[in-house]
Structure 1
Amino acid sequence: MFAFSRFLKDLGTIRKAILLALTLFVLGGVLGWIGTGSLQKLLEQQLEGLSSISGELMDSDNPEWSFFTFIFLNNSIKSVLVIFLGALFGVIPAFFLLINGGVIGYLIHLSVLQGADLFQLIVKGLLPHGIIEIPAIIIACAFGLAFGGKVVQSMFGRVRDGVWPESMRRTLTASVWIVILLLIAAIIESTITLALLS
């Protein structure tokens, strides 16, 4: 039930949802890059919150462990929640993708305006852990969007008998592997990324 090969096969069944999730994430990034007005304020609040938490974690007795614990729990809990809350017509995973993409787009644009080395920011600050973390979050949201799609279809009687048990099995399998992927990403982010940016 929880084999990685099964998880990979399940990804093939939600290709459209993955494409939609990727599109929303990229759209969020574009909106973050050009963000003005209320959107800019929202993204600034997100970054201020993250900056405040980051400062507290850096001042702890063991910054690496503090960063790991926070990053892993924050990402894994939100990602699993966003899968199951996708049942609310896929609204929450869509919003989650737009906000996460927006924060990254805004942060990169802000760094460029401040004259930061964009190559260094991406290669050192984003790529080591992001190469696992970002796809994992996009996949989690894709499962949430697919879940929401099933709910909408069932409201119009377009879901065949026996579809829901298999859909729930896929959701549980995805949750397990997404948490594992985010565990790996958190280890990298709290060690390699932290060391590269220090």
Structure 2
Amino acid sequence: MVRLMRALREERRWIAAAGLLFLISAVLGYFNARSLDETLRAAGVWERLERAVSVIRADPTFLKAFTLIYWNNVKAVLTMMGLGIFLGVFPLMALVSNGTMLGVVLAKTAQKTGANPLWLLMTTILPHGILELPAAIVGAAYGMRLGMMAAWGVWGLVTGGHREVVRHWRRLLERIPIVVVGILLFLLAAAAVESILITIVAK
């Protein structure tokens, strides 16, 4: 746990930037929900989410829900993190799209139910995402960091500063396995909580 906290502290600026980007995207998604809803629908985003929900509804057992939720979350976060090596573009886009989706969902739910959006956020979204969202934000932050390091590495080779680049790469690669284990554990706990809630509601 100490090593994980140290690894997170080392990249606190990137994590803060990723969290802020997610928050801004969610706010923009909320205030532009109508137009963005049509865009997301045309892109098939809602259809994919509805398919995942229908799979769980067909067999709302703890094991089924846990397996689907955990695997989807792990695949999404680790893909976002790993593909960050390509200049950090993928995690950046993933953060924006997920934040936007959160804002749109919040706006649509508030409109349908008439409930206060802040109340909905606190009572329905945060209980599910209290562990999931930080894991995704940390994964995206490290993905963007990888992209920056890749670009800096190329620049170092061109300018002859490769020793400094190698030293920073070594430090980053030492932290990544610790962060990945932390993310997996956070997503494990998040999937367990969500699966328990799903099975309770199903009964």
TM-score class normalised by the smaller sequence: 0.7 to 0.9
Q: Percent identity?
A: 27
Matches of residues 146-165 of structure 1 in structure 2 within 5 Å? 146-157=145-156, 160=164, 161-165=166-170
Q: Is the 8 A contact 2:92 2:144 kept in 1?
A: yes
Q: Distance in 2 between matches of 1:100 and 1:90?
A: 16
* Count of aligned pairs between the two proteins: 193
Matches of residues 14-163 of structure 1 in structure 2 within 5 Å? 14-33=11-30, 34-37=32-35, 39-44=36-41, 45-60=44-59, 62-117=60-115, 118=117, 121-157=120-156, 160=164, 161-163=166-168
Q: Distance in 2 between matches of 1:178 and 1:25?
A: 18
Q: Distance in 2 between matches of 1:155 and 1:36?
A: 42
Shift in Å, 1:189: 0.8
Deviations 1:130-176 (A, max 9, x none): 11111111011111111111111112216613222221121121111
TM-score, with structure 1 as normaliser: 0.87
Partner of 2:130, secondary structure, is helix
Q: Distance in 2 between matches of 1:82 and 1:119?
A: 28
1:7 to 4, 15, 25: 4
RMSD: 2.2
Q: Give ranges in structure 1 of 5+ residues lacking alignment.
A: none
Shift in Å, 1:123: 4.0
TM-score, with structure 2 as normaliser: 0.85
Please identify the structure whose Cα radius of gyration is greater: 2
Q: Distance in 2 between matches of 1:193 and 1:8?
A: 31
Q: Give ranges in structure 2 of 5+ residues lacking alignment.
A: none
Q: Which stretch has the larger CA shift, 70-79 or 116-125?
A: 116-125
